[in-house]
Amino acid sequence: MKPLAKLLIHIFVINFCAVLSTAVILTSSDCTITDPNLDHTFNFSALHSELGHVFKHGNTTYKMNVCQPDLKCSSYATPVSACEVVNGTERVLGYNSSLTWEDGRMSFDFVGEQCSETEKYNLKVILMCTYNLQKVQEPIRVMPKSDPNKCNSIAYWETDLACLPKYQFRYGCILRSKNIDMNQLYEMNHKVMAQDGKSHFLINVCEPVLYGINTTCPKDASICYVDGDESDSKKKFKNYGKLDRIEQQHGEYVLIYKSPEKCKRVPECDPLEEMEEPVFVRETNDCELIFTMKTSLVCGIEPSCFVYNPLTDAKYDLSSLSHRSFPITYNGRSFTYGVCTSPWSPCSQTDGACEYDYNVAGYRKIGYGQISPELKLNSTNDHVTYVEYRDGDICNKTDGTRWRTQIIFHCDETGKEKYKVIEDGNCTLVISHPTRIMCHSSIACSVTSNSGLTIDLSPLKQHQGNFLAKIDPNLKEYTNYKFYLHVCRPLYLESGLNCPGSSSCRTITVNGKEEHETNLGYADVSLTLIDSIPVLKYLHGDVCDKDNSTNYLTEIHFMCDPSEENSVPVLKEVQEGCHYIFNWKTNKICEPEKCTYISETCSLTNPDLDANVKLKDIFNGSNIQVNDNQEKLNIDVCNKENDVSYVLTQYRDDAVIFKFTSKEHKCVNKTDEYLSVILELRCGKEVNQSSNYDNDINESRVQKAI
């Protein structure tokens, strides 16, 4: 049997049984199509170009136009709608184009010449809603193919024509008297679970919810309720709020959304948070829904410690870190530093960083550089943001070299990383400073397949520390190397591993010591699918030793394996000495799996993993204490009269979820209903046991550490 380690148990509402409905598919031969639920017509005529659209991926060049066939392909005499050129060979991908609508996903579909005995060449261009075209560097992006000769091609086209109409005003998210502007929050939807565990809210802060597959919300809805019990798509999506105004109430900034059911959202100021996901707080008696969300955009701070990256259109404002001191210890020595400003005592008012000792008169020992308010981008590497303090105290009395400090800033979404010294030599102090502020331009770590299935690598992205890869035994020439990787984010900067900004780094072991760090690529490209396999590519590494005309790059292929709980990537192939390919088997991308409850032994089993959990062992018997309104009740989890709803293994969260209805107790406020209970068995952090009761849904929720 597979052992189960320390478990954290939550009892709360979750239901993975989705309401099944038949997909609605519509097609149109012109450039307009109407959503049957909203009665809104999308018009894509403006996407037609007199010159056509040309885009590339690898050795393949695509030529395409929409709305009418007017392209010339050498292999076909009359005008067509799409063709591709692969290594000089031209193929017709589409003689005409049709516009398709499928449950909110819109696409141009092309069918061309014969590819094989059973298939024709075809191209699907999926239209994606975006309100911010200024940030779209490549409007048309191709999903890579493992074989360029495959018959089907898929591309994504970001355009505001695939969106519902924007609001007529753009001042609802602005409070000019307080220098508050949250308009940049409209770039994404936020999904917030409702209390019943089956339904959820879709929230777009400053515009209507971004339209797309299974996201066909009413036109003006910034807060959209998606009913998990409703199968009729016309009734499934409800407008719970259109943005009306922003107010300041009792020290909080409140966004007011008006609808038949009032809703308001409370953004809390946190200068260290660029943005956190909104959280549903409660529903009041007067039909008012309350959410809370942390964001630095309501702090009203004037940017001064600021840098802009024109290549990525990323703006980094670290002024919220200024006027503070950051103490740090390294090798038994004490330092303190400031960000763009002096840390003051014990440093001098002109120091950006200094070393100090409270046992020394005056405390301050060495100044490590004069303050500078200017953030910089590395001149040879636009992925690294840093501040540099020069002209500190004398370091080398022979040549007069003075100390300097370089503080490197990088993304930390968890808020748990610590700032630390990573280098102290050659008269230079290098400090790693993690902060959430650097995360707002991070790549997408999830991808949606053609079937609408979302693959999300967030559980791996949130891992504390770097992943040390294994090496395939067949790659014997790499046994002296070590490969460090992370997922969708830069590596943690550690002592002896100085690859700032990169997501993949290689070292070589010489005389038992790791040396010669080599950058194998940056997280510049979002997660994509190649032949249904999730793939991450890290590009623009250091110049390759084997070919100085190219740069190192890393490619990671993720595969579902329910038995792989704490796995690491494995180096499987190196192409031309420059292209590193890793395979990563993990259960974090596996779909929830139905398990079995055996009443005779009161145990939960997952036959695929040969795993078994005996509830009597977990609870030292079979009784648990839960709250029912104001009463404390003892529930027998092994009572054979319990009505079991489901048992699921939720691989993503390392959890087993067990829902049942206790026939021992009826609800206090509703004597005709029995108490519903959900157990969540989760490997994780210890907490004290607690229990609460949700009166609206007659559900008891408990946390218990074992």
Of 60, 101, 67, nearest to 81 by C-alpha is 67
What are 33's two structure tokens?
A: 């199509």
Out of 263-277, 539-553, 687-701, the most confident range is 539-553
**Residue 384 backbone phi and psi in degrees, to 5:** -110, 120
The amino acid present at 540, given as its one-letter code, is H
Order of all β-strands in the sheet with 333-337:
326-330, 333-337, 353-356, 364-367
- CA 570 to centroid of chain Cα atoms: 23
- 293 with 306: CB under 8 angstroms? no
Question: Residue 522: its pLDDT value, please?
Answer: 83
Confidence tier at 2 by pLDDT (50, 70, 90): very low
Q: Single out the residue of 706, 451, 656, 679 nearest to residue 2, CA to CA.
A: 656
CATH code 2.70.130.10 region(s) in the chain: 6-16+165-294, 39-159, 306-438, 449-586, 593-705
pLDDT at 187 over 80: no
pLDDT band at 8 (very low <50, low <70, confident <90, very high): very low
Is residue 455 helix, strand or coil?
Answer: strand
Q: Which of 201, 182, 177 is nearest to 191 (CA)?
A: 201
Is the confidence at residue 31, as pLDDT, over 50? yes
Query: Could you tell me which of 375, 443, 16 has the C-alpha nearest to residue 196?
Result: 16
Task: Inform me whether the pLDDT recorded for 572 exceeds 90.
Answer: yes
- The pLDDT of 213-225, averaged and rounded, is 84
The Cα 189–Cα 496 span in angstroms is: 40
Q: Nearest to residue 183, comparing CAs of 70, 298, 68?
A: 298
Q: Assess whether pLDDT exceeds 80 at residue 393.
A: yes
Query: Cα separation of 546 and 119, whole Å?
Result: 40
H/E run at residue 234: helix 233-236
Residues found in the chain:
706
Going by the DSSP 8-state scheme, the letter that residue 51 receives in this structure is S
Q: Residue 585's pLDDT band (boundaries 50, 70, 90)?
A: very high
Q: What is the largest CA-CA distance in the chain?
A: 90
Q: Count Cβ atoms below 10 Å from residue 454 Cβ, excluding itself.
A: 8
Judge whether residue 703 has pLDDT over 80.
Answer: no
- According to the model, what pLDDT value does residue 487 have? 92
Q: How many other C-beta atoms can be found within 10 angstroms of the C-beta atom of residue 475?
A: 14
Distance, CA of 224 to CA of 202 (rounded, Å): 5
Q: 306-438: which CATH architecture?
A: Distorted Sandwich (2.70)
Selection from 452, 417, 461 nearest residue 586 by Cα: 461
CA–CA separation, 457 and 436 (whole Å): 18
Residues paired with 275 in a beta bridge: 295
Judge whether 466 and 492 are in contact, CB under 8 Å. Answer: yes
| CA 374/CA 269 separation, integer angstroms | 25
The CATH number of 449-586 is which of 2.70.130.10, 1.10.287.130, 3.30.460.10, 3.10.110.10? Answer: 2.70.130.10
Q: pLDDT value at position 33?
A: 92
Cα separation, 622 vs 350, in Å, equals 66
Q: Is 134 helix (H, G, I), strand (E, B) or coil?
A: helix
Banded pLDDT at 138 (limits 50, 70, 90)? low
Average of pLDDT values for 506-524? 82
Name the least confident of 178-187, 414-423, 542-551.
178-187
User: Which residue has tokens 């031309």?
Assistant: 576
pLDDT digits (tens, 9 = 90+) for 298-330: 555 444 677 766 555 466 778 768 888 899 988
- Please give the backbone phi and psi of residue 414, each rounded to the nearest 5 degrees, phi first: -80, -25
> CATH number of the domain at 6-16+165-294, out of 2.60.40.740, 3.30.930.10, 3.40.50.2300, 2.70.130.10?
2.70.130.10
pLDDT at residue 423 is higher than 90: no
- CATH class assigned to 593-705: mainly beta
Position 262 confidence tier, pLDDT thresholds 50, 70, 90: very low
pLDDT band for 233, please (50, 70, 90 cuts).
confident
Query: ∠ at Cα 309 (308, 311), nearest 5°?
Result: 150
The model's confidence at residue 586, banded by pLDDT at 50, 70 and 90, is very high
Query: Where are the strands (E) in 324-398, listed by range?
Result: 326-330, 333-337, 353-356, 364-367, 375-378, 381-389, 394-396
Which of the given ranges, 38-52, 349-363, 611-625, 671-685, has the highest pLDDT on average?
Answer: 38-52
CB 431 within 8 A of CB 409: no
Res. 186 pLDDT band, cuts 50 70 90: low
Residue identified by tokens 């990537």 is 569
What's the chain's average pLDDT?
77
Tokens read off for 9: 């148990």
Give how far Cα 489 sits from Cα of 109, 318, 414, Å. 34, 19, 12
Residue 260 confidence (pLDDT): 58
Q: Between residues 173 and 692, which one has the greater pLDDT?
A: 173
Contact partners, residue 632, CB within 8 Å, separation at least 6: 625, 626, 691
* Over residues 538-561, mean pLDDT: 90
Say which CATH topology domain 39-159 has.
Cation-dependent Mannose-6-phosphate Receptor; Chain A (2.70.130)
Q: What proportion of the chain, given as a percentage, has pLDDT over 70?
A: 74
Q: What is the pLDDT of residue 620?
A: 73
